Amino acid sequence: MKKKLHIVLFCVFIGVFCVSAWKLFGIYRTYEKGNAVYGDIAEKVVKVEADADADRYKPQVTDAPKDVEKKEKKKKDKMISVDFKALQATNPEIIGWLYIPDSAMSYPLLQASDNDKYLHQMYNKQHSIFGSIFMDYRNKADLKDLHTIIYGHNMKNGSMFGTLKRYSQEDFFRDHRNIYVLTEKGTYRYRVFSYHVADAKGRVYDTYFADADAYQEFLSLIQGSSNVKTNVNVTKKDRTITLSTCTGTEESRFVVHAKFMGKMVDTKKKK
């Protein structure tokens, strides 16, 4: 009797092991395929500027304290260029490219008529848990809203916005303060000034403000909620962006806020 029981338990164990192994293999294949799809588009449309040319790009700082400007001069980000004609041919809903130097975050930026479409659809219109990096449908694609929201999945392998939570690490925060959004009309630079865990249905996701005072109240909220204090001066005259990703619970999200610092200028181009 005991021998039969042991055989049954062993068979159950083997069955559970096989099912788990198959599921893990399926997850691995999904991640592998997603990485390949995004790696393929990056290889086709993104060009990394040569180190020797990095100095030719100068940020138009709109309102930064002198100490911030000094730190910017010490470290120059490696810039990239993007073939937007090729991107548009792939999917006309690609409106830009999100890029954080020296990180895994370099992806096409999409926008649909709702915030559901690209949760589980990649830029090439294939269904996937990867989804896409996408802008809130309520925002203007030209990035001229006071507050623009960009979403991405917190993938376990660090892809998409899987490394966003690393902003809570001092060294990562220090070395990745600049966020770039490239569009057909130019490259826009943003400076990170806040990060924290936010209510998934909270005011962090407001995109409309009745007046300047309402926007200032919003800025005070996201600065006051931050897990870090910076010397970046953010006022109601400034435009901001928020990068948002999931935390593993339905009730909260991890968010990173950055201030618009200006449009990048290629000093070698004729004015």
Over its length of 271 residues, how does the chain's per-residue pLDDT go in tens digits?
Answer: 555 555 544 444 454 444 444 343 344 445 566 578 898 899 999 998 765 344 444 554 444 444 444 555 556 888 999 999 999 999 999 999 999 999 999 999 999 999 999 999 999 999 999 999 999 999 999 999 999 999 999 998 889 999 999 999 999 999 999 999 999 999 999 999 999 999 999 999 999 999 999 999 999 999 999 999 999 999 999 999 999 999 989 999 999 999 999 998 765 554 4
The answer as to whether 80 is a domain residue is: yes
Owning domain of residue 171: 31-266
The answer as to whether 203 is a domain residue is: yes
The answer as to whether 197 is a domain residue is: yes
Number of domains the chain is built from:
1
Residue by residue, DSSP assigns 84-139 as HHHHHHH-TTEEEEEE-TTSS-EEEEE--SSSSGGGSB-TTS-B-TT--EEE-TTS
Q: What is the pTM of this model?
A: 0.82
Rounded CA separation 165/172 (Å) = 10
Rounded CA separation 161/104 (Å) = 9
Residue by residue, DSSP assigns 156-188 as TTS-BTTTGGGGGSHHHHHH--EEEEEETTEEE
CATH at residue 148? 2.40.260.10
Classify residue 91 as exposed, middle or buried by CB count within 10 Å of its CB (0-12, 13-18, 19+). Answer: middle
The answer as to whether 205 is a domain residue is: yes
The answer as to whether 19 is a domain residue is: no
The answer as to whether 51 is a domain residue is: yes
The answer as to whether 169 is a domain residue is: yes
**Lookup: tokens for 234:** 């953010």
Rounded CA separation 129/226 (Å) = 29
Closest CA to 136 of 112, 154, 160: 112
The answer as to whether 41 is a domain residue is: yes
Say if residues 151 and 242 touch (Cβ distance below 8 Å).
no
